[in-house]
Amino acid sequence: MARADRKAAAAESAKTGVMTHRQIMFVLFGLMSGMFLSALDQSVVGTAMRTIADDLNGLSAQAWVTTAYLITSTIATPIYGKLGDIFGRRYLFITAISIFIVGSVISGFANTMYELAAYRAIQGVGAGGLFALALTILADIVPPKDRARYQGMFLAVFGTSSVLGPLIGGLLAGVDSFLGITGWRWIFLMNLPIGALALIMVVSFLHIPHHEAKSKTIDWWGVVTIIIGVVPLLLVAEQGREWGWTSTNSMIAYVTGVIGIIAFIFVERKMKEDAILPLHLFKSSTFSLTTLLGVIVGIGMFGGMISLPLVLQIVYGATPTEAGYLMIPMVIGMMSASIISGRITGNTGKYKIFMILGTAFMFISYIYLSTLNYDWEIWQISIGMVFMGLGLGQMMQTLTIASQNAVEAKDIGVATSSSTFFRQMGGTLGVAIFLSILFNSLADKAGQMKDAIFKAIQANPTLVSDPKNAEFFQAEDPAALIQTDSSFLNRISPELANPIKQAFAESAVTVFFTASFVVLAAFALTWFIKELALRTKSGVQEKAEQAASSMH
């Protein structure tokens, strides 16, 4: 296509809002490069976190590095949604990538864990916009009926990053230095070239028409109250196990969070259309129930997402990198379900069935995994992973499409960011709940472990004098070691390791069984969601038509 023709096509799409498949694909390249940046970073950093903590002498502070990123990325999500509606999403997406790159580079030069936590917070501000804005821009340029086909590509990005992340994280964490810089620092510094490429792609290809909002009022009080409401709750979700759920710190967090949420609702009612989270969106029962479903699925999903890698590392002795690879069956299930359900939705316009089937597959997965035994083969766990992936692949894109389709074109940004925000909150809550269940259940099995280990020593007294078991017997509480470094289980005698592995497998079973009830509640809720006919025009198209009609 000649340059003049491309300009003419761009001018036509700006006027009508209709984009060709070629134009859409170019925009998608820009979006996917930005999303890949964020998705890869999360899986890489997670794999290498222990190495980073050891190098910066901050094992006890490593939770703050994760918490800082989580808090800023969660809070930034709804703010990006509203600002994108006002000022245009292209500039916001470029800003988000730029902030993420700056946060990455300074993270690479952190000298303490607390410095790293502060720099990761800056990274999180950028990351908060990448996923929500990408989904919103897709809604701008593709009609709901065709959206599921393209969203499958986004899940492919996450699938690819979840496979590459553990490999890259493991490799860089294992290198002492490269070009005179400590290996783990490249985990952050490599975002500079990847981010620069993403920026070039976005600046070159991400051209979408922007119809200015009638009001450019920014809901600053909404921003302040959502921070007061959400930050304490995210803090207690991340730190509650260490603080104690009924400790003074936790109680202060609960009270502050509740006050903040009440103030936020009051402010949003007063701001009406200009609110960060306009309350009129919840007048749609489809939007309200889909958002609630997202929260419940977010909680239930993390029962497995948190427990499975830990089972692979503690029970099967996998390294974090190997555990990442062993999760590939779930990724394959997720990508397959996403592509197939997307095509069927595009051809039939039906999407509710995938909410029902998605939660059903997740329920089957958890019920199957709740029969786990520590002597299972890897392939037996993989069956459960595949079913979980098949469930998630049908659910994630369908929830977004249903939320976007339930609101007017002018509200697509806040609707997308709101549903993403609530799902993230559900996920954070799920992590807190299920990690507590997992380790509380393990603590309850302390007597069972000690009895089995005592019997093993009685049967074979040489276990005590065996040098490879020295670290086990020197520890005050050997079972508690697995919360800091589970690799000792691979070094000590099997007679001592197996009771701990068995207790951990049984604790994981408790998590899977509990998660199955959460997912069952989600399954029941799907039947009450009203399926609205998928619109055949994109968000930009609808806005262009509204703008044209208002001029006549």
CATH number (domain holding residue 193): 1.20.1250.20
Residue 97 lies in a domain: yes
pLDDT at residue 363, rounded to an integer = 94
Tell how strand 177-178 and strand 181-182 pair up: antiparallel
Q: At what angle do helices 220-243 and 412-444 cross, to 10 degrees?
A: 10
- Residue 521, pLDDT above cutoff 90: yes
Q: Report the predicted TM-score, pTM, of the whole model to 2 decimal places.
A: 0.82
Could you tell me the pLDDT band of residue 169, with boundaries at 50, 70 and 90? Answer: confident
135-143 mean pLDDT: 81
pLDDT at position 500 is 82
Sort residue 534 into left (φ over 0), alpha (ψ -120 to 50) or beta.
Answer: beta
333 found inside a domain: no
Each residue's pLDDT tens digit, 525-546:
999 988 887 776 666 666 666 6
**Looking at the predicted structure, is the pLDDT value of residue 476 above 50?**
yes
Contact 547, 390 (CB under 8 A): no
- Answer whether residue 109 is part of any domain: yes
Number of structural domains found in the chain: 2
- Please report which confidence band the pLDDT of residue 367 belongs to, taking 50, 70 and 90 as the band edges: very high
User: Given this model, what pLDDT does residue 484 score?
Assistant: 60
Whether residue 334 is contained in a domain is answered as: no
- Bigger pLDDT: 106 or 194? 106
Range of the domain at 502: 446-507
For 506, the enclosing helix (H) or strand (E) is helix 494-526
Residue 524 has pLDDT above 90, yes or no: yes
Of 288-302, 352-366, 462-476, which one has max mean pLDDT? 352-366
- Within-domain flag for 345: no
Cβ atoms within 10 Å, residue 429: 17
Alpha helices (H) in 282-411, listed in sequence order = 285-314, 320-326, 328-348, 352-369, 378-405
- Which percentage of the chain shows pLDDT scores above 90? 11
pLDDT confidence band for 1 (50 / 70 / 90): very low
Alpha-carbon distances of 397 from 128, 129, 226, rounded to whole Å: 18, 18, 26
Cβ distance 103 to 124 under 8 Å? yes
Note the pLDDT of residue 246: 83
Question: Is the confidence at residue 325, as pLDDT, over 50?
Answer: yes
Average pLDDT, the chain: 80
Lowest pLDDT segment from 18-22, 125-129, 318-322? 18-22
What confidence score (pLDDT) does residue 213 get? 61
pLDDT at 216 over 80: no
CB-count burial class (<10 Å; 0-12, 13-18, 19+) for 259: middle
Q: Give the model confidence (pLDDT) of 31-78 as tens digits.
A: 888 888 887 877 777 767 767 776 776 656 666 777 788 888 888 888
Q: How far apart are CA 259 and CA 276, in angstroms?
A: 18
Residue 149 lies in a domain: yes
212-221, 234-243, 308-317, 368-377 — most confident range: 368-377
Query: Once rounded to an integer, what is the mean pLDDT over residues 138-144?
Result: 80
The larger pLDDT score, comparing residue 342 to residue 263, is at 263
The mean pLDDT of 244-251, rounded to a whole number, is: 84
Gap between the Cα atoms of 44 and 48, Å rounded: 6
Share of the chain above pLDDT 70, in %: 86
In-domain check, residue 450: yes
223 or 7, which is more confident?
223
pLDDT value of residue 17: 53
Which of 475 and 457 is assigned the larger pLDDT? 457
CA–CA distances in Å: residue 178 to residues 70, 102, 174, 175: 29, 21, 11, 7
Residue 253 has pLDDT above 80, yes or no: yes
Q: Which residue has the higher pLDDT, 162 or 551?
A: 162
pLDDT tens per residue across span 404-427: 888 887 778 888 888 888 888 888
Q: Is the pLDDT of residue 167 over 50?
A: yes
How many C-beta atoms lie closer than 10 Å to residue 310's C-beta? Answer: 20
Continuous segment of H or E residues that includes residue 177? strand 177-178
In a domain, residue 396? The reply is: no
**Mean per-residue pLDDT, 485-491:** 69
